[in-house]
Structure 1
Amino acid sequence: MTFIAALLSSTQFAMAGIRPGAVWPDNRGIHINAHGGGVLRCGDTFYWFGEHKADTTSSAMVGVTCYSSKDLEHWTYRGVALKVSYAKGSDIERGCILERPKVIYNKKTGKYVMWFHLELKGQGYAAARYGVAVADKPEGPYTFLRSGRVNPGIWPVNLANPDTTALTEAMNRKPELQWWTPEWMEYIKQGMLTWRDYDGGQMARDQTVYVDDDGKAYHIYSSEENLTLQIAELTDDYTAHTGRYVRVAPGGQNEAPAIFKHNGTYWMITSGCTGWAPNKARMFKASSIFGPWEQLPTPCVGPDADKTFGGQSTYVLQLGDNFVFMADIWRPEHPSDARYIWLPITFADGVPVVKWTDEWDITSLLKNR
């Protein structure tokens, strides 16, 4: 018997409201396997997309799974939305790393567009690519289009005229220019790694996508060796980058971005970079999606708030004027047993607050969606 099967056989499945950190069963009584994911609303139905995790590896052995729900509590398994490929050398070959899938709907094309972080099989985290796929129905099947680095040969809007001579000299000063020294960090802020990756394109790891009120979509991802966030505008069909992008918090070591907008202000919750181990969530705000972004203290309140309640941000779901913070409790020894944290976001003096609660009722939020 597999680890997760043994877990399921000994657990009583009766989902009562939202219980962060508990085992969440689908319609088959099986723990939902949709990690690092996001939720898309289509009419009165919600679709949850996420990484399928195996019992013993975090590599992608199946692909991106999809579940649907009318009430955000009871979930029906809809199958594998994007399957990994068994073709040797495929970008999404079985055994690659495929993380943080998010789906958005394009009203102009009628297509559902999935973006995700992709690492090529056998290369660890060296590739640092985005992946994009499209479908005619929310549940798929999705057709893989391409993967790659972001905006090759283009400078970010807020780093238009860097001193590339100085940055080249800094890169060539290895090993005497040591990582994490104040001098090294200053070069990072000036764009040393942006310049290093200029020709081949910017690194793209932990990521999300966001559609603004005007219909424009954006790709938000951890870049520059996870030291700097970047926000890149997408084309009208949401399947490629336009070339306009910005750097956010250079050298700040942020990943796991989750973005939302409230009363005209953009908010972004992120995490630090500590591998699978939880850390203290960060929060940023801006009046424009291209910034400037201001960092604020963690929004989390309650037991283990300094470790984001043991989880890591993945998405913020909007329900009318209400918002739900979504995070993952990773269990790398048994990846399929990773758990989910969903908590309501409240506001204190206009600032988001995520307060821990053992169990809560989401139906009141659904009435206002």
Structure 2
Amino acid sequence: MLRRALTCVLTALLSVAALLATGSPAQASTVVVTNATQFTDTTGAVVHAHGGGVIEVGSYYYWFGENRNADNTFKAVSAYRSTDLKTWEFRNDVLTQDSAPELAVANIERPKVIHNATTGKFVMWMHKENGTDYTQARAAVAVSDTVDGDYTWQGGFRPPTGTTSRDMTLFRDDDGTAYQITSAAGNADLQIWRLTPDYTAYESLTANPWAGTFREAPALFKRGGVYFMLTSGNSGWKPNQQRYATATSIAGPWTAMSDVGDDTGYGSQTTFVLPVQGTSGTSYLYLGDRWGNSMGGTVNDSQYVWLPLAFPTRTTMTMPWYPQTVIDTEAGTVTGTGGGPYHNLVARHSGKCLDVADNSGADSAVTLQYTCGGGLNQQWRLKDAGNGYVQILAQHSGKCLDVANGSPADGAFVNQYRCTTGTNQQWRLQDQGDGYHRLVARHSGKCLDVADASTVNGARLIQWTCGTGANQRFQRRAA
């Protein structure tokens, strides 16, 4: 018995030693990522993976992105790996200026990597420029036998139609078919190209759903059989309104683009959407760059904004702001934290909540009263606007409660609109006792009002001369 016990202990110790020797990853745990910061790797060095993408291989997530020289030209595509999406280990500069003569002076942007199960190759696509301007406008390809090994340059080229190819991403569908999505035709179009079976060349144009809309920075993902395309507009390095569209076939028909998040993507531009799959399901993580160039610096000064995406319905999406994002890769959960407190604003006469209709992220989306249900479109944050006034921000969109067109008239609609410095977005909370307040618009001196004192779902929010009615009294309840 003693010999058997000693044998078991020895076997267990050898197993532990073997595990340590193989460098197997530690069990991932819940981590907190702080937004609008630069990330650092396990050595303390700044992570340079800008405009990048993430691929899951085995127990690791591999993050590839742009790493620039001091003059903002291409230095490398750098690769990092992590089990928890916070603790990043630098692995390799997988593509460098020395990888090919034409990369000695170049710009490489938005590198994305997918794996081809048939060939066994890891295939990288990227946007290539000549290092001095944006006239080359080519796609380019490199391949490797290992995910974080040296990638072999295959060359740069334009799509078969000769159109330009700039901001781009890759997407591999459930059947193994791969697509490049690129900002084409001088950035006017956002085109979806099917790739050859080895993923290294264009095969055919699948769709051009938004011709002439000037979209860039695409990220394509699939959820519950629905394709989501998330993009930004064209405004150089300056952030702008993110928009998305959906389809049940990658070839379309696609919906028109709808606003998501606030009017600057919370100061960031989309680069990738990462599905995080675990024991509790799959969550979707927005990866964005807050470009250093928009803040007077360079690409390598850029910060990261990672946010949880929410899906009120099968075909709609919201992107709320949180200062920090909580990630559990084992469970597959991504949630936001901080930035509050958030409140429901509940009308006294009806007991219903101030609500942005249909979870819309659009400017001028209707605000109304609706049965309280816990949706982010019923959660509001107060932001100091000075002199006793506040802005009232919708959690699902980051946009402000706004009296339409700055009207001073009774009956003017109150909507959601991108936050500005206008006094028609500034409100004073006047205590009415019993935990209720009137919300008084600074520009007009009039009160937020449920039209006609209606108690039904869908009754509009307006401004009206302040009175004693319970339809002008709202209670703040912790959301």
Which interval holds the TM-score relative to the shorter structure?
A: 0.7 to 0.9
For residues 170-226 of structure 1, give each alpha carbon's deviation from its aligned partner in whole angstroms, at most 9, with x where no partner exists.
xxxxxxxxxxxxxxxxxxxxxxxxxxxxxxx12100000000011000000000010
1:71 aligns to what?
84
2:474 aligns to what?
none
Deviation of 1:86 after TM superposition, in Å, equals: 7.9
1:353 aligns to what?
318
1:168 aligns to what?
none
Q: Quick one: which amino acid aligns to residue 306 of structure 2?
A: W
Alignment of structure 1 residues 297-308 onto 2, 5 Å: 297-300=258-261, 305-308=262-265
Q: Select which of 122, 126, 131 maps to 1:112.
A: 122
2:146 aligns to what?
137
Is 1:148 the counterpart of 2:177? The answer is no
User: Secondary structure of 1:91's partner?
Assistant: helix
User: Secondary structure of 1:220's partner?
Assistant: strand
Is 1:81 the counterpart of 2:81? The answer is no
| Partners of 1:23 and 1:83 in 2: CA distance | 22
| Partners of 1:289 and 1:57 in 2: CA distance | 39
| Partners of 2:113 and 2:59 in 1: CA distance | 17
2:342 aligns to what?
none
Q: Select which of 296, 305, 314 maps to 1:341.
A: 305
CA-based RMSD of the aligned residues comes to 1.6
Deviation of 1:345 after TM superposition, in Å, equals: 1.1
1:256 aligns to what?
217
Q: Select which of 86, 89, 113 maps to 1:103.
A: 113
Is 1:319 the counterpart of 2:276? The answer is yes
Is 1:22 the counterpart of 2:31? The answer is no
- Contact 1:82 1:140 (C-alpha < 8 Å) held by counterparts: no
Q: What runs of 5+ residues in structure 2 fail to find an aligned partner?
A: 1-29, 334-479
User: Secondary structure of 2:266's partner?
Assistant: helix
Is 1:213 the counterpart of 2:174? The answer is yes
2:71 aligns to what?
57
| Partners of 1:275 and 1:306 in 2: CA distance | 15
Is 1:245 the counterpart of 2:245? The answer is no
| Partners of 2:325 and 2:317 in 1: CA distance | 18
- Contact 2:241 2:260 (C-alpha < 8 Å) held by counterparts: no
Q: Quick one: which amino acid aligns to residue 90 of structure 2?
A: Y
Alignment of structure 1 residues 188-203 onto 2, 5 Å: 201-203=162-164
1:44 aligns to what?
59
| Partners of 1:299 and 1:281 in 2: CA distance | 6
Deviation of 1:16 after TM superposition, in Å, equals: 5.8
User: Secondary structure of 1:268's partner?
Assistant: strand
| Partners of 1:342 and 1:366 in 2: CA distance | 18
Q: Quick one: which amino acid aligns to residue 221 of structure 2?
A: F
| TM-score, reference length from structure 1 | 0.77
Which stretches of structure 1, 4 residues or more, deviate above 3 A after TM superposition? none
Deviation of 1:91 after TM superposition, in Å, equals: 2.8
| Partners of 1:224 and 1:215 in 2: CA distance | 28
| Partners of 1:128 and 1:360 in 2: CA distance | 35
| Partners of 1:32 and 1:53 in 2: CA distance | 12
User: Secondary structure of 2:264's partner?
Assistant: helix
1:283 aligns to what?
244
Q: What runs of 5+ residues in structure 1 fail to find an aligned partner?
A: 1-14, 153-200
Q: Which is richer in strand? A: 2
| Partners of 1:86 and 1:353 in 2: CA distance | 41
- Contact 1:112 1:136 (C-alpha < 8 Å) held by counterparts: yes
1:190 aligns to what?
none
Structure with bigger gyration radius: 2
User: Secondary structure of 1:352's partner?
Assistant: coil
- Contact 1:65 1:81 (C-alpha < 8 Å) held by counterparts: yes
Considering Cα pairs closer than 8 Å and 6+ residues apart, tell me whether 1 or 2 has the greater RCO.
Answer: 1
- Contact 1:57 1:335 (C-alpha < 8 Å) held by counterparts: no
How many positions carry a matched residue from both structures? Answer: 296
Q: Quick one: which amino acid aligns to residue 345 of structure 1?
A: L
User: Secondary structure of 2:118's partner?
Assistant: coil
Q: Quick one: which amino acid aligns to residue 57 of structure 1?
A: D
| Partners of 2:45 and 2:98 in 1: CA distance | 25
| Partners of 1:239 and 1:78 in 2: CA distance | 24
- Contact 2:113 2:123 (C-alpha < 8 Å) held by counterparts: yes
